[in-house]
Amino acid sequence: MWTNHRRNATPFPCGLVDNRFTNRREFLRKAGSGFASVALLDLLDRQNLLANTRTHHAATAKSVIWLFMEGGPSAMDTFDPKPALNRHHGQKPPASIDVFFGNPGPLMKSPFTFKQHGKSGTWICDHMPHIARHADDLALIKSCHAESPAHGPAMYQMNTGMVRTGFPSAGAWIQYGLAASNQELPGFVVLQNSRGSKGGANNWGAGFLPSEFQGTPFRAQGTPLLHLNRPEDLNREQQRRMLDLARRWNRAHATKHPGESDLLGRIHSFELAFRMQSSALETVDLASEPEPIRARYGLDKDHTRAFGEKCLLARRLIERGVRFVQVYCDDEWDSHSNLEEQHAQRMAETDQPVGALLSDLKQRGLLDQTLVIWGGEFGRMPVSEKALGRDHNPHGFLVWMAGGGIRGGTSYGELDEIGWRSATNPVSVNDLHATILHALGLNHERLTYRHNGREFRLTDVAGEPVHAIFA
Amino acid sequence: MEIFDAPNADASCGRRNVTTVAPQALTLLNNPQIRGWARDFATRVRRDVGPDHSRQVKHAYQIALSRLPGDTELEEAIVFLRHSELENLCHLLFTLNEFIYVD
């Protein structure tokens, strides 16, 4: 249904909308589909002369590493302790709380202890000693709220701004807005949850944007990319000749099927694949990192290795000019039955790698130009579920940002006393997206794409960057 | 199959995701199994129609795409075969959008 909806002439209540020439790039590409101009267009494309290289304002970050804590980490058990919960532990909540799975229990205090860290005195859970060393680098956005209490729609909203599936992800918008700075690697890489993410590939999809802007998932386990070596009986020149003819025939085929962005996306994917063969092999080779660095990310320990490898790879990717990297945690923070055990496990797996990433970026002078984001699709309830767990809470949760122009050691907004709802300076998902675009020099109101007869944005019709957290 | 959007068995899948990303292209270009199929395909074409390039191209098109090549395509393929093995032409047919997408 959805796929048909965004293809060709789109059925719309007001009649048929033809979106065949939806932007300058696609128009030029299609207009130039005669064979003589193909090579020239490709050359221009590769050098990004057609791309939108200009930012709207001075960027504070060149790239983004988004540490996606899938499943919904609890604010009050990680970075936003709520003493009121200790006082009212076991009591009935002041208002009737709508929980996703029903049967809310009484208010439940955090099973964890907290200490203040850094000059800022930021409270951080004792299970995150490595991140705690970076307390003065973090800007905690404590008053986030989202719209859906269910994982799938919430994942879509956090990634695309919409709770429904099929819209372009933030990474796709950013690729659309900014030229790639490395032609031999994808501009948007997804380092996946080994269990698979709720909602799957639509979380990093291109939606109605040209499909070449979708995120490229690397494998969650084992070698991140397969098949980077040519078959032994095929040399580079022969393969190039093969691709040239295939591209020519694919282009001719695409002109007979106008409006099918996937066809062009696939042509693009073969060109990128050809270029990746030379550089990606080196990029994904974590064995080339010195032992102390590998140990710092936790690659020498079973429980930190998987996430550590992804964090280290993320650093290598942005170091080579990849614009947008999403690092999904393995498993989930979705702690319905035993929050103490499940959250402690996630913190044990992610704390050291995240701390290492922040230190490593800083030492290499990359933190200043890399926006690091930590957060999930929602948070968790102040009341208990099944005695020891917490249910989904889209009304109030925490996201932190660091690096890339962010003023460390700060916080913005507050939840209410018990950590249920965003109370002071609420920050919506649109606001978070506007903030990310702002750091990259993009004005969220001006980054638009015409679809279905109107201009669309990552932030739809709302959103305001959280200016207060910028230095 | 994970590279080509095979659904995760943990959850129901109402509709498969359709992605077009470089790891898929890398698989089609470099996977030894696919290269092996291209070699087998070329062997079959040679066995069926012999060494004539024009007949090889027409036959390969017929098998892979269920149609004959257009005049330009035929000409381009024959030029290609002057510098390249039939295996490579057969391999490139597997990568075409026309081969992958059903009209």
pLDDT digits (tens, 9 = 90+) for A340-354: 999 999 999 999 999
B17: pLDDT strictly greater than 60: no
**Binary contact (B17, A202; C-beta < 8 A):** yes
Indicate yes or no: CB of A250 within 8 angstroms of CB of B96. yes
- Which residues in chain A have Cβ-Cβ distances shorter than 8 Å to B27? 226-227
Higher per-residue pLDDT: B87 or A5? B87
List the single residue in A241, A253, A269 with the smallest CB-CB distance to B25: A269
Nearest CB to B25 within list A201, A234, A270: A270
Pick from B32, B76, B97: CB nearest A254: B97
Between helix A261-283 and helix A302-319 the angle, nearest 10°, is: 110
Higher pLDDT residue, A141 or A26? A141
Distance from CA of A245 to the nearest CA of B (A): 8
* CA–CA dist A77, A344 (Å, integer): 10
CB A313 within 8 A of CB A191: yes
A229 vs A437: CA distance, rounded Å: 36
For B30, the closest of A218, A230, A243 (CB atoms) is: A230
The reported pLDDT for the residue numbered A42 is: 46
Record: contact A239-B29, CB cut-off 8 A: yes
Chain B residue numbers with beta carbons less than 8 Å from the beta carbon of A245 are: 76-77, 80, 92
Q: What is the pLDDT of residue A44?
A: 45
The answer, yes or no, to whether residue A34 has pLDDT greater than 80, is no
CB burial of residue A352 (10 Å; 0-12, 13-18, 19+): buried
| pLDDT tens per residue, range A68-92 | 999 999 999 999 999 999 999 999 9
Q: Please report the pLDDT score of residue A223 as a whole number.
A: 85
Percent of chain A's residues with pLDDT above 90: 79
Record: contact B30-A277, CB cut-off 8 A: yes
Q: Which of B16, B21, B82, B87 is most worth mutating to test chain A (most A CB atoms within 10 A of its CB)?
A: B21
pLDDT at A465 over 60: yes
Reported confidence tier of residue B9, pLDDT bands at 50, 70, 90: low
Mutation site, A234, A248, A331, interface B, largest B CB count within 10 A? A234
**Inter-chain touch A269–B22, beta carbons under 8 Å:** yes
Q: If pLDDT is split at 50, 70 and 90, which confidence band does A239 have? A: very high
A146 class by beta-carbon count within 10 Å (0-12 exposed, 13-18 middle, 19+ buried): buried
Give the confidence band of A99 by pLDDT, cuts at 50, 70, 90: confident
Candidate ranges A84-98, A174-188, B44-58; pick with highest mean pLDDT: B44-58
Domain range summary for chain A, segments of one domain joined by +:
51-225+284-469
What is the nearest CA distance from B88 to chain A, expressed in angstroms?
Answer: 7
Which pLDDT score is estimated for B44? 98
Of the candidates A242, A272, A268, A240, the one whose C-alpha atom is nearest the C-alpha of residue A254 is A268
Contact call for B18 and A3, based on CB within 8 A? yes
Q: What are the structural domain ranges in chain B? A: 32-103
B85 to chain A: closest CA residue: A238
d(CA A432, CA A413): 13
pLDDT over 70, % of chain B: 83
Task: Determine the pLDDT at residue B92.
Answer: 97
Question: From the CA of A114, how many Å to the nearest CA of chain B?
Answer: 35
CATH top class, domain A51-225+284-469? alpha beta
Taking 90 as the threshold, does the pLDDT of residue A97 lie above it? no
Instruction: Inspect the interface and report whether the beta carbons of A273 and B22 lie closer than 8 Å.
Output: yes
Residue B1: per-residue pLDDT = 63
Average pLDDT rounded to a whole number, residues B77-92:
97
Per-residue pLDDT tens for A351-391?
999 999 999 999 999 999 999 999 999 999 999 999 999 99
Q: What pairs with residue A385 in β-bridges? A: A389
Between residues A49 and A280, the one the model is more confident about: A280
Q: Which of A4, A7, A10 is nearest to A452 (CA)?
A: A10
Q: What is the mean pLDDT of chain A?
A: 89
**Which chain A residue shows the shortest CA-CA distance from B7?**
A200
Predicted pLDDT at A21:
37
pLDDT (0 to 100) of residue B12: 56
For residue A204, is pLDDT > 80?
Answer: yes
Looking at chain A, how many residues does it have? 471
Closest chain B residue to the Cα of A215, Cα to Cα: B21
Q: How close, in Å, is residue A93 to chain B by CA atoms?
A: 34
Give the pLDDT score at A15: 29
pLDDT of residue A340: 98
What is residue A425's three-state secondary structure?
coil
SS3 assignment, position A401 = strand
> Among all chains, which residue has been given the structure tokens 């203040």?
A116
pLDDT digits (tens, 9 = 90+) for A385-428: 999 999 999 999 999 999 999 999 999 999 999 999 999 999 99
Query: For A262, which of B20, B29, B91 is closest by C-beta distance?
Result: B20
Provide the pLDDT for residue A324.
97
Token pair of A356, please? 């290492």
Name the residue in chain A with its Cα closest to that of B22: A269
User: What is the pLDDT averaged over residues B27-49?
Assistant: 96
Q: Extract the tokens encoding A1.
A: 């249904």
- Report the pLDDT value the prediction gives residue A1, as an integer from 0 to 100: 28
Distance from CA of A244 to the nearest CA of B (A): 10
